[in-house]
Amino acid sequence: MTRPEVGKLGLRRPVPDSAWERYSARPVRSLDELQMVAAIRAAVFMSEQACPYEEEYDGNDLCSTHFLLFDGAEPVGTLRVRWFADFAKLERIALLPRERGRMGLRVLLAEMFELVARKGYRRMLGQIQARLWPVWSRTFNCRLLPGRAPFWFSDYEYREIEIFVPEHPAALPMEADPYMIIRPEGAWDTPGVLDASAQRAPGQDEAA
């Protein structure tokens, strides 16, 4: 499997080879995978942090890009990204208890950074629990947004951070190959089902 060479640059510390051998992460592309996301977040946010259902599933899930982290074949972590004009927003990072402190989080974040950078974004917004600033400041390249006061929701104090996204040399412009643009999210370099459907275009039989 191709490693996210650009995405890794968004991390403060390297990802060891053993982590790439054990873990994998990818964008969610099916309803089954979206259910895995919901299950992990329910276990972490609703069960551990007593977050109410209507606050955890806040109306933004169907307009977001979700990622899943796998330990082998087992889903063990997730995050989501929402898209704005000149920044993306990183949200809902959740790991099952046994995965905390392990290398899986770095794999998950590196794959996320790779996709965000490939879309041409150079910065992200994060809203983090204030108590976790020391953790996130050691995890990826970021800073507290200057002049922004702490704020509260769902019973926790939050701070806003700016996350720096590495520049991707192959960021996708609007003028990219049309077949690349219609391929599954994050799989732009691999011909997909719609590439194959082009063989049914009028005149293809005659051309062959």
pLDDT tens digits, 15-55: 999 999 999 999 999 999 999 999 999 999 999 999 999 99
59 in any annotated domain: yes
Residue 207 has pLDDT above 60, yes or no: no
User: Which positions ≥6 away from 205 have C-beta within 8 Å?
Assistant: none
Q: Which residues pair with 80 in a beta bridge?
A: 66, 91
Residue 162 has pLDDT above 70, yes or no: yes
108 in any annotated domain: yes
What's the number of domains the chain is made of?
1
Q: Which residues pair with 64 in a beta bridge?
A: none
pLDDT in tens, 75-121: 999 999 999 999 999 999 999 999 999 999 999 999 999 999 999 99
Query: What is d(CA 174, CA 157) in angstroms, rounded to the nearest whole number?
Result: 39
Q: Which residues pair with 24 in a beta bridge?
A: 70
Query: What is d(CA 117, CA 53) in angstroms, rounded to the nearest whole number?
Result: 32
Angle at 160 between CA 12 and CA 149, to 5 degrees: 135
Residue 205 has pLDDT above 80, yes or no: no
Query: What is d(CA 15, CA 9) in angstroms, rounded to the nearest whole number?
Result: 10
Query: What is d(CA 4, CA 205) in angstroms, rounded to the nearest whole number?
Result: 39
202 in any annotated domain: no
CATH of the domain at 133: 3.40.630.30
- Could you give the dihedral angle defined by the CA atoms of residues 163, 24, 77 and 171, in that order, rounded to the nearest 10 degrees? 30
205 in any annotated domain: no
167 in any annotated domain: yes
206 in any annotated domain: no
Domain that holds residue 122: 7-193
198 in any annotated domain: no
